[in-house]
Structure 1
Amino acid sequence: MKENKMEKKNRTYRNLFILFVAGMLTIAVVFAGTIIYVDPFFHYHAPLKGFPYVVDNQLSQNPGMARNMCYEGCIIGSSMTVNFDTDDFKELLGTETVKLSYSGAYPKDDYNILSIVFDESSYARQNCPVKKVFFAMDIPTMTADLETTKYPLPEYLYDANIVNDVKYVLNKDVLFQYIMRPVVQGKGSDLSEIYFSWWTPDYYNIQWVMHTYEEPEKVEKELGAEELIPQTEENLKVNILPFVEAHPDTEFYFFFPPYSILYWHNVMQENTFEATLKQYQYVADRLLPYDNVHLFYFQDMEETLDLNNYADYSHYKPEINRFMVECFKDGNYEIHSSEEMAKELSKMRQMIDGFDYNELFSKEW
C-alpha cells in the first residue's frame, strides 16, 4: 500500500512538472510568436499595415528597415542626417526614401548598414532596387579604425544566424516597450521623421550654442598636412568605395555637412587646419572620378556664419536639411571637379580668416 501511494505521489509530481514545462513552453511560444508576427524591429518582414510602430532605436531597427522595407533611396550617416524628413525626398526628388542614420557613425557603421541595403538576396531588394544613396561624409570620422563602430552592435539583428534570434524573440523589453506600449498609447512614430533630434526651435540660437560650447585645449604642435590621408584612404577603400564600384546604376549623393564656423575654431585649436583642408580635398579627389557620384560641399554657405542656425557647433536646423534636399535636386553647391573643390576650400579659408572669433569669445553668454 505504501508503495502504491508513493507511486501515485511521484506520478502527481511528474504530471505537475510536465504541466509546468508545457505551460512555460506555451508562454514562450506565444511570447515569441507575438514578437515575430508584429516584428517591431522589422527583422523578418516589413511593417504590418495599421500597427503603431515606435522607431527610436537606430542600432536595433536600422538593419531590419534596410533589409525588409521597400524603398528607392536611403539616407546614410551620422546625426548630421537625423533631421531629414523623407517626405521632402518624395516631394522634391520623387524618391521613396528610408532613413538609416547612426548618431556618431564611423565608416564601419556605414559599411555595416550598406552591406544590408545592397544584400540582393533579400526579397525587398529583389523587388525594390536601390536607386539613390544620400551619404553624409563626416571628415572628422574618416580617421577612425577600420573595424570600429560607434557603439556595440546587437549582432543577432545583423547576422543570418537564426539560433541567436532568441535574444530578440524572447526579449521582454521588445514585447513591452515596442508592442504593448504603443498598443496602449495608440500612437506610433511618423516614419518620415524618425530619429529627429530632441532640440526644439528654441534651442537653435547663439546664446544656447555658446553657453554649452566646450572649447578644445590649444595644441601647440601643428599636425602635418599629409598625416590624415593614409587612414582616410583606408576607410574609403575598405568601407565606402566598394559600394560605389559594385553598384554603378545607383547614384550616390555624398555631401559634406554644413558645420558651423565654430567647428573650424575647434580645428584651429587642435592645430589640424591645413591637414583637415588637405583631407577634404583628398576625399573629393577620390570620389569625383566615379560617374555615379554627386558631391556637394555645404560648409561655405553663408548660413554657417550665423550660430542662430545651430543647436551646437555642428548640428543645424531642420530647415537646412530641407535646403540640402533642394540642392540635390537643382545642383546648387555641387562639386564637379578637383579644381572646383579647391576653389570652395579657398572660399572656406577666406570665410574663416574673415570671421571675428575674438568678438564671439569676448562676450558673456
Structure 2
Amino acid sequence: MKSNQENLLNQKKKKEQNPFKKAVFLTLSMALCALLLAGALVVYVDPFFYYHSPLKGFPYLVDNQLAQNPGMAAHMEYDSVILGSSMTVNFQATWFKELMDLNTIKLSYSGAFPKDQSNIMEIIFRKPSGAVSQGDGNKETKKVRSVFLGVDVITYTGGVDETKYPIPEYLYDDHNLNDIKYLLNKDVILNYILRPMADPEPTDLSNVYASWWTEEYYSQEWVLHNYTPPGKVAQETLPDAYLASVEKNLAANICPYIEGNPETEFVIFFPPYSILFWNDVLLENHLEATIEVYRYIANRLNEYENVKLYFFPDREEIICDLNNYADYSHYHPRYNRYMAECFASGECLVAKEGEKGTGIEEYLLHMQEIVESFDFEELLSRK
C-alpha cells in the first residue's frame, strides 16, 4: 500500500517538474488571455457598432460601407435615413436637419443593387435595443420617419439576389456563433481601433463616405479625358426587355418595406446622370427600354400613399454641363444640396395619377427630347 502511494507521489512530482508541459500550459494560457483581451477590446470599442452605439470621445474611422452600415443602422440614433449608391454619398445629414428637421443617417453603398438596399432596410426596420414600441405593443420596431432612396434604374435590371460586393454575413445576421470573425479580426483591431487611437481624426458622421473628388475634378476637360464611349450596337433592345427583372426586384427588395411600414414616408428619387450616360444608352441602343424602366418604377412606386417620387434626370441645366461632373455620372455635391432642397420644397415631385402637377409622362417626354436633340458629336469633338 505504501509502495503504491509512493509511486503516485513520484509520478505527480515528475508531472509537476516537466518544464515542457509547464511551458505549453503557460503559452496556451497566455494565448487564451490575449484572445479574450482582444475580443473584449473589440466589444468595448466596437468600431463597427455591432454591439452598441459609439463611445463618447473615441475617434472612430468610418470608411467601410459593407462592414459598418449594419451596425450604424442598428445602433445609431436617427429618425430618417439616406439610402442608395454613390449617387447619395455627398448628401450631408445636417442639411436634412436644417431643411426638414430630420435626424438623418447616411447608409450608402457604392454601386448598390436593390438587394443591397433590402439588406440594410431589413436591419433598419428590425427591432434594435431601446426600440420604440409601436402597433400592438408586442412587436417593437425603430420609428423611422423618412427613407430617402436613390434609384439607379440600370441596377434594377439585374438579379433579385445580386449584390455589388459579397457582404460579411456575420455582421448582418443575429447569430452570435459567427461573431468570432469580428471579435478576433486583426484588421479590425489594427486599423479601426489602434490606428485611430494613434492618429485621432474622427470621421464626420454627417458627411460619412463623401467622395474624394476635389473642385478641380469637376470639369468638362477631366470628364471627357476619362470618358470612353461604348461600341455601337446595331440591334435595338425591345422596350419591355428589362421589365420582368425590374418587377421582380421591386417585389422582392423594395415594395415589402414600403408596404410593411406605412407610417414611414419613402422619398424615392432618380439621380441626374450627365448627358454622357445617355450617349452610352443611345450607342448601346436601349433608349426606349431605359425609358420604360423609369416609367415602370415611377408608376409602380407612386401607387403607394407613403411614397413621394422625385425626377431629376431631365434637369437640363445640370446634365448638359459637364463642368458639373467628375465623370459621366457623378455630379458635384451642390446638386445633392439642390435635391435635398427639392425634397423640402416639393420641386421636381412626380404627381401621382389624378393629382395636380407634373406627371411621369411629362418628365420622360422632356428627358427624351433632351437626349434625342443633343449634339453629342460636337461635345465629343472637344476631347
Distance in 2 of aligned mates of 1:297 and 1:340: 10
Distance in 1 of aligned mates of 2:149 and 2:15: 70
- Deviation per CA, 1:46-88, whole angstroms, max 9, x where unpaired? 0011110000000000000011111000111100011111111
Distance in 1 of aligned mates of 2:363 and 2:15: 89
Distance in 2 of aligned mates of 1:36 and 1:284: 43
Question: Letter of the aligned partner of 2:313 in structure 1?
Answer: Q
Cα 1:226–1:183 shift into 2, 3 Å: same
Question: Letter of the aligned partner of 1:67 in structure 2?
Answer: A
Distance in 2 of aligned mates of 1:39 and 1:45: 7
C-alpha RMSD of the superposition: 1.8
Match of 1:102 among 109, 115, 139: 109
Offset at residue 353 of structure 1 (A): 2.3
Distance in 2 of aligned mates of 1:39 and 1:76: 23
Distance in 2 of aligned mates of 1:247 and 1:157: 24
Q: Which residue of structure 1 aligns with residue 378 of structure 2?
A: 359
Q: Does 1:111 align with 2:111?
A: no
Offset at residue 283 of structure 1 (A): 0.7
TM-score, normalization: structure 2?
A: 0.92
Cα 1:140–1:125 shift into 2, 3 Å: farther
Q: Does 1:340 align with 2:359?
A: yes
Q: Which residue of structure 2 aligns with residue 325 of structure 1?
A: 340
Q: Does 1:308 align with 2:323?
A: yes
User: Do 2:74 and 2:128's aligned partners in 1 also have CA atoms closer than 8 Å?
Assistant: no
Q: Which residue of structure 2 aligns with residue 256 of structure 1?
A: 270
User: Which contiguous aligned blocks of 4+ residues in structure 1 show a shift greater than 4 angstroms?
Assistant: 3-6, 124-128
Cα 1:269–1:43 shift into 2, 3 Å: same
Match of 1:30 among 18, 37, 61: 37
Q: Which residue of structure 2 aligns with residue 210 of structure 1?
A: 224
Q: Does 1:186 align with 2:205?
A: no
Percent identical pairs in the alignment equals 48
Distance in 1 of aligned mates of 2:92 and 2:267: 16
TM-score, normalization: structure 1?
A: 0.96
User: Do 2:128 and 2:142's aligned partners in 1 also have CA atoms closer than 8 Å?
Assistant: no
User: Do 1:70 and 1:128's aligned partners in 2 also have CA atoms closer than 8 Å?
Assistant: no
Q: Which residue of structure 2 aligns with residue 65 of structure 1?
A: 72
Question: Letter of the aligned partner of 1:14 in structure 2?
Answer: K
Question: Letter of the aligned partner of 1:308 in structure 2?
Answer: N
Question: Letter of the aligned partner of 1:115 in structure 2?
Answer: E
Distance in 1 of aligned mates of 2:52 and 2:110: 25
Distance in 2 of aligned mates of 1:215 and 1:10: 77
Offset at residue 125 of structure 1 (A): 5.9
Distance in 1 of aligned mates of 2:17 and 2:228: 71
List gaps (5 residues or longer) in structure 2.
Answer: 1-9, 134-140
Distance in 2 of aligned mates of 1:286 and 1:9: 76
Offset at residue 12 of structure 1 (A): 2.9
User: Do 1:300 and 1:348's aligned partners in 2 also have CA atoms closer than 8 Å?
Assistant: yes
| Pairing of 1:107-146 with structure 2 (within 5 A) | 107-124=114-131, 128-146=142-160
Question: Letter of the aligned partner of 1:274 in structure 2?
Answer: E
State the SS of the aligned residue for 2:359.
helix
Match of 1:84 among 77, 86, 91: 91
Offset at residue 163 of structure 1 (A): 1.1
* Higher mean displacement: 4-13 or 237-246: 4-13
Distance in 1 of aligned mates of 2:230 and 2:260: 40
User: Do 1:119 and 1:125's aligned partners in 2 also have CA atoms closer than 8 Å?
Assistant: no
- Give 1 or 2 for the bigger CA radius of gyration: 2
Distance in 2 of aligned mates of 1:6 and 1:48: 51
Q: Which residue of structure 1 aligns with residue 168 of structure 2?
A: 154
Offset at residue 11 of structure 1 (A): 3.3
Offset at residue 123 of structure 1 (A): 3.1
Match of 2:304 among 270, 279, 290: 290
Distance in 2 of aligned mates of 1:162 and 1:4: 43
Offset at residue 358 of structure 1 (A): 1.3
Offset at residue 193 of structure 1 (A): 1.0
Distance in 2 of aligned mates of 1:316 and 1:44: 36
User: Do 1:118 and 1:125's aligned partners in 2 also have CA atoms closer than 8 Å?
Assistant: no
Cα 1:70–1:257 shift into 2, 3 Å: same
How many equivalent residue pairs?
364
Offset at residue 113 of structure 1 (A): 0.4
Offset at residue 20 of structure 1 (A): 1.3
Distance in 2 of aligned mates of 1:256 and 1:128: 26
Q: Does 1:93 align with 2:100?
A: yes
Question: Letter of the aligned partner of 2:325 in structure 1?
Answer: Y
Offset at residue 159 of structure 1 (A): 0.9
* Higher mean displacement: 333-342 or 172-181: 333-342
Match of 1:175 among 167, 189, 192: 189
Distance in 1 of aligned mates of 2:206 and 2:71: 16
| Pairing of 1:259-274 with structure 2 (within 5 A) | 259-274=273-288
Offset at residue 9 of structure 1 (A): 7.0
User: Do 1:71 and 1:128's aligned partners in 2 also have CA atoms closer than 8 Å?
Assistant: no
Offset at residue 161 of structure 1 (A): 1.2
Distance in 2 of aligned mates of 1:80 and 1:45: 29
Distance in 2 of aligned mates of 1:172 and 1:193: 27
User: Do 1:53 and 1:188's aligned partners in 2 also have CA atoms closer than 8 Å?
Assistant: yes
Offset at residue 18 of structure 1 (A): 1.8
